[in-house]
Amino acid sequence: MDTRPPIFAIRFSLTVLMALGWLRAAEPPGSLKALLAEALSNNPEILASQKRYEAARQRPGQVSSLPDPMFSPGFASNGRPWPGAGLGKEPTSNIGFMVSQEVPWPGKRKLQGDMAVKEYEAEFQNYTQAQLSVVSRIKQAYYRRAYAFEVVEVLDRNIDLLRRLLKITEARYSVGKAAQQDVFKAQTQISILATKRIQLEREKRAREAEIVSLVNRAPGSSLEKPDALLPQEMKVGLEELYEAAKQNSPMLLKDEKMIQRAELAVNMARKEYYPDYTIKAGYFNMGSMPPMYQLSADFKIPLYFFRKQRPAVTEQSQTLAASRRDYEASNQSLHFRIKDDQLMAETSNQLIKLYSQTVIPQSSLALESSLSSYETGSVDFLTVLMNYVTVVEYEMNYYEELQNYYLAVSRLEEMTGRSLLP
């Protein structure tokens, strides 16, 4: 029985590894590609799944082999209860042995082996899914950590700007040109941004711990600062994503293997109507008399087929129907999730362009203009503060949409089994 993985599985595994940077040149430590390569080598979930797959590959040869033969030595004596008593004198005294071999009905062993092959091919898809899942989780944690770094920089920059505004307000208040509440509002806004910064620092440390766990480093290990989040275009349409999922999704491919396994199980249940048999051969020494030889065959009679074989066929037929429904459900769920994440990526990409090209530049100009006017007393403090809060909010929204875009793409890569970004 050939227990090598199927050719399509090898090709798919290599494609996944290349897409994830496994076969590429060495990357700087701490980069996303380096972390992915490290996880593929060290992650316990992936290694455990690999071992389960390798264990499953050993089953086809076992289940398709003949049962172990039986060797039965013995004797028959007359007059005394020990071997050889009456040997050569009595025709029923002898010393010899029997060899028996149970033989399943033709076709059963092949069906059992083929079923085991489908099981290990399904286990290979579990192994591939483990790789894709770990990679997706690392990417998502990496992008969330990068988002936290970017927004902390935004907050630091705008807190400095707000402190500048606070000094101006305090100076104006000291000469009676500003209300005391303006000073309090500026101080309150600084405190609000400080609370957001504390939350983001927690997010940075939490995502760092998650990545360290996924790459199987020692707890408490530190990571380098992630690369800056920059816009990238995913130039893959929805139909291409559907087709890639159909070709590569471990979830669908596993369900296909389980359908094929269930079809073989139905045939196996039908084969149980045919009897297995045991062939026996023996040699018996009769002493001075001529030796005796024996050859016989025992057949199992499926007499109780109405309670065993018939329900077994029904059981396996229902299991086959269930496997087909499982595939249908997985396919529908996968199409929905792909559509949902594709819409999220598309929407986030549009918002990224809108924020970067229009909203943030315009709101920044409005803030700069209001700051200059406030210093000269042309506008009130509330106008400046509203413009300031708007700029901060839009900058944070920009990076949030960048994060959402990368998270959606990461999930799409997991579902389609292919790299979607340059």
The β-bridge partners of 280 are: 100, 296
| pLDDT tens-digit series, residues 241-287 | 999 999 999 999 999 999 999 999 999 999 999 999 999 999 999 98
3-state secondary structure 372-413: HHHHHCCCCHHHHHHHHHHHHHHHHHHHHHHHHHHHHHHHHH
User: Considering the chain, what percentage of its residues have pLDDT values greater than 70?
Assistant: 92
CB 207, CB 141: distance < 8 Å:
yes
User: Tokens standing for 349?
Assistant: 């990409």
Helices and strands in the chain: count of H runs, count of E runs: 11, 4
User: Tokens standing for 119?
Assistant: 């099981």
- Checking 335-339 for CB contacts under 8 A at 24+ apart, the result is 335/242, 335/245, 337/411, 337/415, 338/238, 338/241, 338/242, 338/245, 338/412, 338/415, 338/416, 339/238
- 23 has a pLDDT exceeding 60: no
Q: Which residue has the higher pLDDT, 377 or 406?
A: 406
- 377 has a pLDDT exceeding 80: no
Classify residue 96 by its DSSP letter: E
Q: Which of 118, 415, 86 is nearest to 266 (CA)?
A: 118
Pairing of strands 277-285, 94-103: antiparallel
Pairing of strands 70-76, 277-285: unpaired
What pLDDT, on a 0 to 100 scale, did the predictor assign at position 51?
96
Q: Which of 146, 313, 300, 276 is nearest to 224 (CA)?
A: 146
User: Among the listed ranges 199-213, 266-280, 358-372, 406-420, which one has the minimum average pLDDT value?
Assistant: 358-372
User: Among the listed ranges 41-55, 74-88, 125-139, 258-272, which one has the minimum average pLDDT value?
Assistant: 74-88
User: Tokens standing for 242?
Assistant: 């559907």
Question: Mean pLDDT over residues 300-324, rounded?
Answer: 94
Classify residue 105 by its DSSP letter: P
Classify residue 298 by its DSSP letter: E
What pLDDT, on a 0 to 100 scale, did the predictor assign at position 13?
47
Question: Mean pLDDT over residues 150-161, rounded?
Answer: 90
- 168 has a pLDDT exceeding 80: no
pTM, two decimals, is: 0.85
User: Tokens standing for 124?
Assistant: 């290979």
Going by pLDDT thresholds of 50, 70 and 90, the confidence category of residue 83 is confident
Q: Whole-number mean pLDDT of the chain? A: 88
Coil, strand or helix at 256: helix
- Compute the radius of gyration of the chain from its Cα atoms: 37
Highest mean pLDDT of the ranges 115-124, 179-188, 219-228, 387-396: 115-124
> Which helix H or strand E contains 323, and what residues bound it?
helix 309-354
Sheet architecture: strand order including 70-76:
70-76, 94-103, 277-285, 292-299
Classify residue 357 by its DSSP letter: I
- 22 has a pLDDT exceeding 50: no
Task: Write down the CATH superfamily of domain 7-66+104-272+308-416.
Answer: Outer membrane efflux proteins (OEP) (1.20.1600.10)
Question: Mean pLDDT over residues 200-204, rounded?
Answer: 95
Q: Which of 36, 239, 285, 58 is nearest to 137 (CA)?
A: 36
What pLDDT, on a 0 to 100 scale, did the predictor assign at position 272?
93
User: Tokens standing for 317?
Assistant: 């037929």
Q: How far apart are CA 61 and CA 156, in angstroms?
A: 65
> Which helix H or strand E contains 99, and what residues bound it?
strand 94-103
Going by pLDDT thresholds of 50, 70 and 90, the confidence category of residue 26 is low
What pLDDT, on a 0 to 100 scale, did the predictor assign at position 10?
40
- 203 has a pLDDT exceeding 80: yes
What pLDDT, on a 0 to 100 scale, did the predictor assign at position 14?
42
Q: How far apart are CA 66 and CA 315, in angstroms?
A: 26
Domains in the chain: boundaries: 7-66+104-272+308-416, 67-103+274-304
Q: Which amino acid is at 333?
A: S
| pLDDT tens-digit series, residues 394-420 | 999 999 999 999 999 999 999 999 999
- 229 has a pLDDT exceeding 60: yes
CB 353, CB 398: distance < 8 Å:
no
Question: Mean pLDDT over residues 62-86, rounded?
Answer: 91
30: left (phi over 0), alpha (psi -120 to 50) or beta: left
- 6 has a pLDDT exceeding 60: no
- 180 has a pLDDT exceeding 70: yes
User: Considering the chain, what percentage of its residues have pLDDT values greater than 90?
Assistant: 68
Question: Mean pLDDT over residues 368-396, rounded?
Answer: 82
What pLDDT, on a 0 to 100 scale, did the predictor assign at position 62?
94
CB 280, CB 299: distance < 8 Å:
no
Going by pLDDT thresholds of 50, 70 and 90, the confidence category of residue 29 is low
Question: Mean pLDDT over residues 58-74, rounded?
Answer: 95
Question: Mean pLDDT over residues 303-329, rounded?
Answer: 95
Residue 312: other Cβ atoms inside 10 A: 18
- 25 has a pLDDT exceeding 60: no
Going by pLDDT thresholds of 50, 70 and 90, the confidence category of residue 178 is low
User: Among the listed ranges 141-145, 195-199, 368-372, which one has the minimum average pLDDT value?
Assistant: 368-372
